[in-house]
Amino acid sequence: MTQALLELKEIRRSYSQGETSTEVLHGISLKIYPGELTAIIGPSGSGKSTLMNIIGCLDKPSSGSYEVGGRSTSGMTPDELASLRRDFFGFIFQRYHLLGHLNAEENVQVPAVYSGMSKEERLKRSVKLLERLGLGDRVTHNPSQLSGGQQQRVSIARALMNGGQIILADEPTGALDTKSGEEVMKILQELNAQGHTVILVTHDPRIAAHARRVITIRDGNIVSDVQNAQTGNETFLNIKKEATEIKRSAQTTSEPSFKFKAAAFFERLREAAVMALRSMASNRMRTLLTMLGIIIGIMAVVMVVALARGASDNIIANISSMGTNTISVMPGERMGDVRSNKVRTLKVSDLKALQGQPFVDSASPVVQSSVLLRRYNLENNATAYGVNSEYFRVYGMELAKGRMFSERESGDNSQVCVIDDTTAKNMFKGEDPLGKRLLLNDLPLTVIGVLTDKELAFRRPDALYVYTPYSTLMHRLASIDYLSTVIVRIAPGFSTAVAESSLIALLKARHGRKDFFVQSSDTIMKSINEATSTFTLLISAIAVISLIVGGIGVMNIMLVSVTERTREIGIRMAVGARRADIMSQFLIESVCVCITGGLMGVVMSLLAGKLITVLVPAVPLSFSGWSVAAAVLTSSMIGMIFGFMPARNASRLDPIEALARE
Ligand code: ADP
Ligand code: MG
């Protein structure tokens, strides 16, 4: 006698509902031999499906032992049970249990996705199986486009996809008309003749009559187990060979090679990604609304980073235009000190003292006053800067025409001036200003130079600026005896830090106290960087909050999606999906949702950036590849984090309960 392929000993199964527990199977002992065609028959509610689910490793007995190919299933992990379902059993259900959003050939392929078959092989095999079952012209039809009998044949093809040595059919004809039912039975008999072990559950004695062995169960007990006389043993030899093969493969858990496993793993991931994209596409509106939080969050981050970068780039460009080795000395305690205009201790004598220091290459005074410009009937308010001949060089200002006033002119109250491009345009209207007279507060000055239209640091682009010798401004234009700024260009060979401290020491000694402050391009740069990073930090905090809110939205929808697709999860588990497969399917879906949202956010912020540059050119924007990459990375992380809980819930579902869900 051959050894049993499946062996159940004293199997009991009870369901507990609240306090009470009802036993449905009362100690079933049963051996199934390779190559058998067994019918399990009994009235409705007798426990046939419960028994079948235990045989198919979808359900676990409450007590008793069950061996598949000589291996006990009691200590097996969910994944080991999944591997038995995947590789040895092929399920056929009364209600077909096809996945509605997949066509016939894709439905047939599902078990092979989990067993790691390559795409081409999968496609070839599924089409071949469907052709063999007479569905060659229906491979790309969806289940809804197929009749009941055709759907059941698709599900038979699915059961055979990974071999299906043991076919378990629970009322396979129950939902079919007599003719389709007969066809299905014929197929099962043919499969049995080819060596498949078939176990069939039915309540219909006419169907059971097709089987060689008929087991009758009633109220959870086997009441009879008979061999039908008319059946022959024509396939016995074939069967014996097959049986030993099954036993061998069930017993030797030979590890597939790492390369194969890795390839199969990526294949499954790819398949999960395809599924995810499909499910997103079939629920477009919902997906879009789910992504909205992510889109807005990512857009905010990318835009704000671009703004911050744009602004600081702009300021830094301005600062570097004035040269990097200068120190400005200003009255007051710090930048923005409101009392600084009352401090009038910075004098021309300080300037002279500074000019005598070794660390000073040149020192330039700045006196500032607002003036009224007049020329014939043209009148304009302007800012006049009293400076010396070094000033333009220190600030890197360039003359478009004419010349700068000389060293001598700066000190001897000469009535000359250099005007900027805006002043030239406003006061001379196209005439050449060189050599012409301009009235500043009624004092006539001769224009000797015109600046280029290069934009300068801390100058408003539409304002008028006139530069005169500082002595002229202090003594003739206004009566000012103090300087508003002294700009020192550090001599080569001296570091900014050394120059700065020597300068402070010198002026402190001269004034008796520190009633001034200094600003080197270094310190300006440093304070801008500090301001930008504070700003960025603040915005990042807001962005993180909005992304968390978006993530919670994604989690919510994923939980809904898991609930909606519980039956799908059950089907996938029944055909052999591991917990990790289900988990990765939902994780990938949530990551796909988030990455798509992230990319849409990036694209939209780039578009918004374009729009802003067109509408308000003054707003500087600087998008960086890094912020885009970070946005995409962040959104995929959000997908992972917020998709985890729903995905884990899905993977922990009980296959039987999941299948029963509508
Ligand atoms: P059959 O397939 O023979 O019609 P089942 O195996 O489906 O019978 O059910 C056998 C008995 O177990 C029935 O009385 C049914 O009500 C009960 N039963 C089945 N599934 C559950 C469950 N999940 N919880 C509680 N009782 C169940
Ligand atoms: Mg049933």
Over the stretch 79-136, which tens digit does the pLDDT of each residue have?
999 999 999 999 999 899 999 989 999 999 999 999 888 889 999 999 999 999 999 9
> In the prediction, which pLDDT does 321 show?
61
> In the prediction, which pLDDT does 643 show?
94
Query: Residue with the nearest Cα to atom 12 of ligand 1?
Result: 24
Global pTM?
A: 0.72
With a 6 A CB cut-off, is 646 part of the ligand 1 pocket?
no
> In the prediction, which pLDDT does 233 show?
44
> In the prediction, which pLDDT does 235 show?
42
Give the number of whichever ligand sits closest to the CA of residue 174.
2
Q: Which of these, 554, 627, 628, 548, lies nearest to 588 by C-alpha position?
A: 554
Q: Ligand 1 center to residue 92 CA distance, Å? A: 18
Average pLDDT over residues 185-201: 93
Atom in ligand 1 nearest the alpha carbon of residue 47: 6
Indicate the average pLDDT of the chain. Answer: 87
> In the prediction, which pLDDT does 5 show?
92
User: What are the distances in angstroms from CA 366 to CA 254, 292, 324, 459, 602?
Assistant: 87, 54, 18, 15, 47
CA dist., res. 8 & res. 511, Å (int): 104
Contact 6, 68 (CB under 8 A): yes
Quick: pLDDT tens for 504-542. Answer: 999 999 988 888 888 887 777 777 778 778 877 887 788
Average pLDDT over residues 262-278: 86
Average pLDDT over residues 572-600: 93
Q: Ligand 1 center to residue 47 CA distance, Å? A: 6
Q: Ligand 2 center to residue 202 CA distance, Å? A: 8
Highest mean pLDDT out of 6-15, 281-290, 317-326:
6-15
Q: 32: burial class by Cβ within 10 Å (0-12, 13-18, 19+)?
A: buried
Atom in ligand 1 nearest the alpha carbon of residue 660: 23
> In the prediction, which pLDDT does 66 show?
96
CA dist., res. 647 & res. 641, Å (int): 10
Residue 232: pLDDT band (50, 70, 90) is: very low
Ligand 1: residue of 22, 49, 51 to mutate (most ligand atoms within 8 A of CB) is 49
> In the prediction, which pLDDT does 637 show?
92
Buried b (16+ CB within 10 A) or exposed e, 534-569: eebeebeeebeebbeebbebbbebbbebbeebbbbb
> In the prediction, which pLDDT does 248 show?
47
HSE-CB of 365 using CA atoms within 13 angstroms: 29
pLDDT at 306 over 80: yes
Residues forming a β-bridge with 20: 17
Query: Residue with the nearest Cα to atom 6 of ligand 1?
Result: 47
Output the six-digit token pair for 399: 């003359």
Which of the pair, 2 or 62, is modelled with greater confidence? 62
